[in-house]
A and B are shown apart, each in its own frame.
Chain A
Amino acid sequence: MRAVLDVRNLTTRFSTPTGALVAVNDVSFSLREREILGLVGESGSGKSVTLRSLIRLLPSIASQSGEVIWQGHDILKMSPKEVRAVRGGQISMIFQEPTTALNPVLPIGLQIDENLRAHTTLSHRERLNRARELMDLVGIPEAARRLAEYPHQFSGGMKQRAMIAIALASNPRLLLADEPTTALDVTIQDQILKLILDLRDELAMSVIFVTHDLGVVAATCDRMAVMYAGRIVETGTIADVFARPMHAYTRGLLGSVPRVGTERSPLMSIEGTPPGLSSIPRGCAFHPRCDFATNVCRVSQPVTETVEPEHDVACHNSLAVLEAGSPVQ
């Protein structure tokens, strides 16, 4: 299948009074048509900044390098005007906290209309009809009445549906989802995840799904990329990574999640805490917490290698990790 998005050596730095922080470090991945890619990591791993870097949705203290090739053009080299056409148009984004992402003083209908006006050539009447269609599409009942309502009149799950309706207004080819279900209850999360899967099928778009929940990844994504301290440490299909993790961090994450049959026994935890951006260890950033670390890990940064077809890993001891086996089998 053809790649719709190709990210090569993407690096994002923030210049702060105390020096430059590298939030995204030399990240490369590609995304195919209709594919859902899960970007997994703990807080501070750089997964959200990576997502925002793709459409240059960053504060002014950020500087970027590398390439983000979208339909043959490098987004990082586009003029501000060209970026605005892509961002919110061909590439849409939904956010974690619908309460803060929606404008509290504007009715939902107007917020959908804003996006339609910016990215389509529809007339006023057509836009109104399209807004109703979008509300139906994302499963908000009584669309006509609810278009006039304000965000505070919507429940958490309905707000997230409304945000998805806004994102879909421009017929995007790629949806960027930044922890869209983290703030929701489990039965509502289930509804939203299935909605995203249905929309992917109906609208034939690709999705990049940022989350910290491995269960969500297992239930929705086609491929996954695991991030640690600003780098992608492992990429592969869901089945491969869950069955044969090759990076010690991935293996530790999988083992940290409680699972059936091991009740009240100690979980396979990862000692220590993820490093801050200002104090990323030398060599492999994970070595202070790693059970497999050897001398080489302390001095040299492992390069990403394709160990199996479609399964890339950046670990000096990937074969030892592979041999140790997956904790979820």
Chain B
Amino acid sequence: MSDVVISAAGLRKSFPLPHGLIDRISGKVPLAVHALNDVSFTLHRGETLGIVGESGCGKSTLARCLVRLHELDQGEIHFEGTDVASLSGPARRAFNRRVQMIFQDPYSSLNPRMTVRVILTEALSVHAMRPAVEIPARIAELLDLVRLPQDSADRYPHEFSGGQRQRIGIARALAVEPEILVADELVSALDVSVQAQVVNLLLDLQQRLDLTVLFVAHDLRLVRHISHRVAVMYLGKIVEIGPTEALFAASQHPYTRALLAAAPELDPSKRSRKIAAKGELPSPIHPPKGCLFNTRCPHAFDRCYAERPQLTDRSVGHQAACHLTNFDPKDSLK
């Protein structure tokens, strides 16, 4: 597990808001949504890293920056030791092939005018994966891999259910034999029983094809089920990262603890009437000074309003960004 494939350091990304003529004349400062505020992490070969957080925490921006759908403002992403921003020409194409993304919405991420065969052929021929004569056989193989019937090849996306479309998206990503899959909310648009099918498929494929997976989701139960390691994001920053078991059993950041307490459990006997976190997410246009979570944190004290905490080691491979240490594992969790 020590072989680092991707390392990200100090990633920052903001999206400027419209700044019109009147704003300029009246001397308004240009505003921006700060989506990523200094994100650093590493991804090891063969592992699944779960990225979890609420909407607006920057988890999708992070996924898109990793596959270079967005260019970073600051920071570097190294893939096998080389800075991906420096890649161009064939090296960039090779990177694009080896790191593939699967999107959230199976309805808008497939071209409605292309049959499954055309979708997969496009992926195969862009990267010249197979000579033209071998493409039909490879398509049959891919359909088999994601457990779609063979007659699916000549049908259009609208003829499939949500779960089947997500399988087509997976087949398209796998067509180019990637090493890393970036899955952004892979199953959140699907019904519970169908979610389970796709999750099982992903676990099976990861084992058979030796894939490294970055699994972005808002569902804690799902992330816990799939991931070896988990990173919790809040307002564009990783507030806690660690091995799944350590992070869930002994979380070291008040936000992680609030998330865990808020997620409804399947056990009716574990009910609680205590509210897990008061207030709402502050605006990413004007993030709070000091600790980003200080507006909602039950433990906040003077230092939290003055100084932003950095990730520090709490146990082996487990880091949290909080001025406080030693949270009692039993305290406040249901």
Contacts and interface: CB of A to CB of B under 8 A. Distances in A.
B227 to A, nearest CB: 8
B267 interface: yes
B192 A219 contact: no
A190 B278 CA distance: 10
A195 B300 CA distance: 25
B46 interface: no
B193 to A, nearest CB: 4
Contacts of A255: 196
Interface in B253-281: 258-259, 261-269, 271, 273, 275-278, 280-281
A11 B222 CA distance: 36
Contact of A257 (B194, B221, B262, B280): B221
B276 A187 contact: yes
A263 B278 CA distance: 30
A26 interface: no
Interface of A is mostly: helix
A260 interface: yes
Nearest to B192: A256
Interface stretch (B10-18, B74-82, B175-183, B197-205): B197-205
A198 B54 CA distance: 25
A188 B259 CA distance: 10
A66 interface: no
Contacts of A264: 203, 225-226, 228
Closest 7 pairs between A and B when the two form their complex, measured CB to CB: A215-B264, A258-B225, A269-B196, A190-B262, A256-B196, A185-B54, A219-B264
21 contacts: A155-B280, A185-B54, A186-B54, A186-B220, A188-B54, A190-B263, A190-B276, A191-B277, A219-B265, A256-B192, A257-B192, A257-B221, A258-B199, A259-B266, A260-B224, A267-B199, A267-B200, A268-B196, A269-B197, A273-B191, A274-B193
Given A218-B265, A259-B221, 6 more contacts: A185-B55, A187-B277, A190-B264, A256-B195, A258-B199, A274-B191
Interface of B: 54-55, 161, 163-164, 191-197, 199-200, 203-204, 218, 220-222, 224-226, 228, 244-245, 248, 258-259, 261-269, 271, 273, 275-278, 280-281
